[in-house]
Structure 1
Amino acid sequence: MPKINGNEIRPGNVLEHDGHLWVAVKVDHVKPGKGGAFAQVEMKNLRNGSKLNERFRSADKVERVRLDQKDQQFLYETDGMLVFMDTETYEQVELPADLLGERRPFLQDGMTIHIEFYESEALNATLPQKVTCKIAETEPVVKGQTAANSFKPAILDNGVKVMVPPFVGQDELIVVNTETMEYAERA
């Protein structure tokens, strides 16, 4: 595994530190008036979710880990575990449902998502950036209100509340950005 200097750590880097795998969440480069510069790194443990704040000087060497990404198909959820299948080898892998957090409702049957592996251990899952959803409930379309840049609340078929433009009605399909959890466009 490649070693990098402490000042080369960037958000999103996966590091091996104290025998655990960590992802750098936030990195601040500090140059105090006295003493050498350092990077203040906020890290999250990939296995148990605990957080750690650590200082790395530019002379410190840290292991940067490359994760393998594979596309996997979502099959079903059982006992708080999500089951995915590799479409080439048909091997199944389980990940905890709380790994996706508030984006969990956007996971649909048969959806293909990216799973990151370290050696043969599945660590992380990423949903597609845009997902098509159906509006279950919203206020009716009011004629003449399209000129104003206002949004109205809507509840999707998966139970998530989003703000939509006034011209979008009930039972319409819309595209939602899973990163910002906002309306993107009509489907």
Structure 2
Amino acid sequence: MYTSSDLRKGLKIQIDGEPYVIIDFEFSKPGKGQALYRCKLKNMMTGVIVDRTYRSGDTFQPADLEERAMQFLYSQENEYCFMDVQTYDQVFLNKDQVGNAKNFLTDNLEVQILFFGDKPIGITLPNFVDLMVTRAEPWAKGDSVAGDTKPVTVETGYVLRVPPFINEGDKITIDTRTGEYVTRVKE
């Protein structure tokens, strides 16, 4: 059980039987009266953002969340299929639940799926993934300006900017949190 003094950004709590994550938090102590905790909360099932104010001493249930290791199998129209690596059960997430993670999903990639009870509600990718460059403009040596980058397309269809020496067929590491190029993979 959490109290209002435990509230902080990123904390996951249960309100009215649904999981919420605190995305913004502000503490204020007026001259008279109790301290107030203003929170911006995001419903983890629907994505709806609400503003709530709590007083000191209010209590909250921790959200009943569980992360399970899963392996990405395939996508079909607006559904993404994952397999539990221990039980081999298959779970489907829709495109809204997957969100921008679709840009980095490759066959057999191990991810963490977030469950609320028995219902899958979200996905956590590894911090870095290695993807093959499928389309890149050619680059001539000496044809650069300091800090120059060029757009490339990787095997998932995601487009990002990379240094000019990256060519088609190269494997690159991408930070899934920012979507940015990290390094070229040496094979």
Sort the TM-score into its range (normalised by shorter chain): 0.7 to 0.9
2:59 aligns with one of 58, 61, 66:
61
SS of 2:165 mapped into structure 1:
coil
Question: What does residue 183 of structure 1 align with?
Answer: 181
Match for 2:35: what amino acid? A
Q: Contact 1:98/1:104 (CA < 8 Å) preserved in 2?
A: no
Question: What does residue 149 of structure 2 align with?
Answer: 151
Comparing 127-136 and 77-86, the one that deviates more: 77-86
Question: What does residue 45 of structure 2 align with?
Answer: 47
Find runs of 4+ consecutive structure 1 residues off by over 6 angstroms: none
Q: Distance in 2 between matches of 1:175 and 1:20?
A: 36
Cα shift readout 1:73-97 (whole Å, capped 9, x = no counterpart): 1122235222211122111222212
Q: Contact 2:20/2:63 (CA < 8 Å) preserved in 1?
A: no
Question: What does residue 161 of structure 2 align with?
Answer: 163
Cα root mean square deviation, aligned: 2.0
C-alpha displacement of 1:34: 4.6
Match for 2:133: what amino acid? I
2:115 aligns with one of 102, 114, 117:
117
Question: What does residue 12 of structure 1 align with?
Answer: 10
SS of 1:24 mapped into structure 2:
strand
Q: Distance in 2 between matches of 1:139 and 1:33?
A: 63
Q: Distance in 1 between matches of 2:74 and 2:170?
A: 26
1:142 aligns with one of 117, 140, 143:
140
1:96 aligns with one of 94, 97, 107:
94
C-alpha displacement of 1:144: 3.4
Q: Contact 2:106/2:156 (CA < 8 Å) preserved in 1?
A: no
Q: Distance in 1 between matches of 2:98 and 2:82?
A: 13
C-alpha displacement of 1:57: 1.9
Q: Contact 2:64/2:117 (CA < 8 Å) preserved in 1?
A: no
Q: Contact 2:75/2:81 (CA < 8 Å) preserved in 1?
A: yes
Q: Contact 1:7/1:38 (CA < 8 Å) preserved in 2?
A: no
Q: Distance in 1 between matches of 2:17 and 2:86?
A: 32
Q: Contact 1:82/1:97 (CA < 8 Å) preserved in 2?
A: yes
TM-score, with structure 1 as normaliser: 0.88
Q: Distance in 1 between matches of 2:8 and 2:137?
A: 44
C-alpha displacement of 1:15: 0.8
Q: Distance in 1 between matches of 2:36 and 2:142?
A: 57
Cα shift readout 1:45-71 (whole Å, capped 9, x = no counterpart): 122221111112221111122522110
Cα shift readout 1:98-122 (whole Å, capped 9, x = no counterpart): 2121231211111111012233222
